Amino acid sequence: MDRGSIPGYYYDEEKKKYFKIQANHVAPADAKYSKSNVNLEKRAAKKRKTEDRSRATRFKQTVRPSRVFEHPLSGGVGLGRELGLREHVVDMNVRDTFLVSQLRPSRAEIAAPNAASRFGTLFDAITVDGRSVLAYNHAGASSVYVTQPNPAHRALFPLVAFNSPLVNIHTIAGSESTTLIACTQEPKPPGNVFIGAFPGQHSATQDVFLRVGGLESSLWASSLNGETCHLAVSGSEAVFILDIASATSTYRLPLQDESRDITWLDTRTVAFGEGRKVALFDTRSGGKSTRFQRKLPITAIDSPDESGMHLLVADNRRSDMYDTRMDKAPLLGFSHVHQGPQLQLAANIAGSGLIAALDVNNDIQTYSLRSARPVGVLQRPSAKGKSLMTKLRWTELDGSAPALQACQDGSVVKWTYGGAEDDEASPSANKHR
């Protein structure tokens, strides 16, 4: 418009001629040389010039890395890492995909110690101080067994039995003895929390049964703080903080909605779900605060790293990671559909940034906390189990290679890096055949 900037005239680009600017009520309908249309085009031209100047300024002020760092041979894998730069997202995705593809499944059948356990399911299996601890749920009851310390005699020794299914088991390894903590769902006699030492060890700790919660209440989850020896327990009516050394309850936090999962954010702060809300409790001040709100009831909550600031929160449809120092919006998230009131979720704190979660088809899906993208589904063992997997957790083999473990039916399923297939395919293995 106004090609020659002639005052009072409008230049039409299509007709290549000038028109006198006329008042709106005089000019024909939809005429470009009406006063309102001329003013509209002036404002649009001014806005474009302002945006162009702003874009040019940002371009000058932006520091762009050299294009050499985008090359796969010298970027996040080589020169970029040497210079302390962050790895390229594409490189990290390729690495995560390769790591998950190399996790090979294996199933180890565990001989049940008695008939009751044989007709039940293996709830959890852990190894501490060279001894195996096996926990079984069977016919509305449960029992825990431990192997003998003598390597030549690995028979299972009954440690404790309950009249209710197990919720969780924990161990604290001491200099002279190992303490077992077991929690069950219902507060039936003799109690729903057990604290006791392994058999055959010299310990000043006596076996103690505690009843946590009312007669009509139930427990959902528990989390152990190994540094302070405190146990956080979430249930249908309250959250409890137990002192393991004195076998006493130090805090009881009444709830408006049931809490299905709980975790320690740091040594003094507990994070737990309360219906659709994420709440924090400070054991130093005794203060409780609600931090985040979800659309669906919370089915899992975990601290995915050791920063003491991040929380991974899940419901039946979605999982998100939050920063407790920031606003209500999550840092990242991904869709994940599962069944049941609790999600079997495992975060690899060892550094890979991988999340493993059981989905609605009883498959284990993996996700990356760096990119919030699905990495892949883990291979199933050759012999498929019938029941849902329980107690999904990451471990480390030889202090380096990550491994994933779960319990199903009467067996322990493990996904380890490489495995027998890689050993058989290696030249050294073929050479010694």
Q: What is the pLDDT of residues 336-374, one digit of tens each?
A: 999 889 999 998 765 668 899 999 998 999 998 888 889
**pLDDT value of position 57:** 85
Q: What is the pLDDT of residue 80?
A: 47
Residue with tokens 């300024």: 57
Which of 57-71, 108-122, 140-154, 201-215 is modeled with the greatest confidence? Answer: 108-122
**Do the domain assignments include residue 323?**
no
Mean pLDDT value of segment 308-318:
93
Task: Give me the DSSP letters along 280-300.
Answer: EEETTT--EEEEEE-SS---E
The larger pLDDT score, comparing residue 126 to residue 24, is at: 126
Asked if the structure places residue 422 within a domain, the reply is: yes
Q: Is the pTM of this model over 0.85?
A: no
State the pLDDT at residue 38.
80
358: nearest Cα among 273, 278, 279, 415: 415
User: Is there a single domain that holds both residue 17 and residue 99?
Assistant: no
Distance CA 357, CA 100 (A): 13
The residues that bridge with 22 in the sheet, in sequence order, are: 34
For the residues 400-406, what does the mean pLDDT come to? Answer: 81
pLDDT category of residue 85 using cuts at 50, 70 and 90: low
pLDDT at site 380: 85
Q: How confident is the model at residue 77 (pLDDT cuts 50, 70, 90)?
A: very low
Task: Pick 21 or 230 by higher pLDDT.
Answer: 230
Please check whether residue 23 lies inside any domain of the structure: yes
More confident residue, 387 or 237: 237
The domain containing residue 396 runs over which residues? 93-103+344-433
Question: Do residues 361 and 424 both lie within one domain?
Answer: yes
Q: For residue 379, tell me if it sits in a domain.
A: yes
Contact 167, 184 (CB under 8 A): yes
Question: Which burial class, exposed, middle or buried, applies to 358 when counting CB atoms under 10 A from its CB (0-12, 13-18, 19+)?
Answer: buried
Cα–Cα distance measured from residue 346 to residue 339, given in angstroms and rounded to the nearest whole number = 16
Q: What is the mean pLDDT of residues 135-156?
A: 82
- My answer on whether 98 and 29 are in the same domain is no
Same-domain check for residues 1 and 47: yes
On average, the pLDDT of the chain sits at: 83
d(CA 319, CA 273): 13
pLDDT of residue 43: 84
- Is residue 203 scored above 90 in pLDDT? no
Q: Is residue 209 in a domain?
A: no
**Whether residues 348 and 423 fall in one domain:** yes
Most confident stretch, 40-49, 152-161, 361-370, 423-432: 361-370
pLDDT value at residue 337:
93
Total tally of structural domains belonging to the chain? 2
Residue 321 predicted with pLDDT over 60: yes
Q: Give which of 262, 212, 268, 210 is closest to 237, Cα–Cα.
A: 212
